[in-house]
Amino acid sequence: MKALVAEGGAMRGVFAAGVLDTFIDMEYKPFDFVIGVSAGASNLIGYLSDYPHRSINVITQLATSRRFFDWARFMKGGDLIDVKWLFEESNRLYPVDPEKLFDGIPFLAATTNIATGKADYYRIDRNNFHHAIEATTALPIAYKQTPCFSGGCYTDGGVADSIPVREAYRRGAREITVILSQPLNYSKKSLQTPWLMRKLFAEYPNMAEAMLQRSENYNESLEFIRQPPKGTVIRVIAPPDDFRVQRLTMRKSVLLEGYEMGLEEGRTHLRNLSGEHGLTRENCHFCL
């Protein structure tokens, strides 16, 4: 089985938006299922519904607006980012074809269960679309709401599983394409203030522990990518070292630069797979 995994990373997801627009342009959809986390899941909406430029428009036209991102609102006790508004406004301005989105390639989103601190993975359908996307993008602390549905309450999937490549493997995928939102030389550092996490999430101790273990889980996923099980091929598309987009970058020029990098890396990836550079599906492990 073939799977596509899209990492989150808030505004850093603009890179994946570019990669996936290249895939749309080249009609590249060989996957048996896809898994997205946070911004990665949002980007997959446009990809699966064959809607080029949807993600970059959402990022540059909506996610940079004060209605979505507002420090003053946050300082007064409100949301720093309003993911519910972003989801609803995105669907109002850029509606998708429900048959393509829900009846085509199976689409899963990773969420973090606040009671257990573990990842729950939801197959996106017409009934849970709103709740699951809100949950997977609900950055802790920055988004004050706690989406609850299907018997649980959730926050950003990136807390428990930022790069669900191991989940893709567990579900039977043996040829996995991973779109990262950080350069290949990145590794996540441990939090230096565990006491603060435990205080902030005192009501949900398992969430606090998930936050503290996030860097370890992230780096273990990277190691899994570098050393996959026998019989498994993992291909990675990652931003170049000069990728300047940060989690909360709002400058449109920087975001568009990151998007162009995604377009180019997507083209390079497909050229590699076609053997244009002497690389083929058989010898292109971990190629960009």
> pTM, whole model, 2 decimals?
0.92
User: Which residues have a Cβ under 8 Å from the Cβ of 143 and sit 6 or more positions away?
Assistant: 79, 80, 81, 82, 83, 137, 155
Is CATH 3.40.1090.10 correct for 2-274? yes
Question: Residues 38, 42, 49, 162: which is the catalytic one?
Answer: 38
Question: Residues 79, 120, 156, 161: which is the catalytic one?
Answer: 156
User: Could you tell me the residue ranges of all domains in the chain?
Assistant: 2-274
Spatial separation of the C-alpha atoms in residues 239 and 14, rounded to whole Å: 10
pLDDT digits (tens, 9 = 90+) for 141-167: 889 888 999 889 999 999 999 999 999
Each residue's pLDDT expressed in tens, for the chain with a length of 288 residues: 999 999 999 999 999 999 999 999 999 999 999 999 999 999 999 999 999 999 999 999 999 999 999 999 999 999 999 999 999 999 999 999 999 999 999 999 999 999 999 999 999 999 999 999 999 999 988 898 889 998 899 999 999 999 999 999 999 999 999 999 999 888 888 877 888 888 878 888 898 898 898 899 999 999 999 999 999 999 999 999 999 999 899 999 999 999 999 999 999 999 998 875 444 444 444 544
Catalytic residue status for 181: no
Catalytic residue status for 55: no
Helix (H) or strand (E) holding 110: strand 107-113
The DSSP bridge partners found for residue 37 are 110
Residue 200, both tokens: 């902030």
pLDDT digits (tens, 9 = 90+) for 226-238: 999 999 999 999 9
Residue 188, both tokens: 């996540």
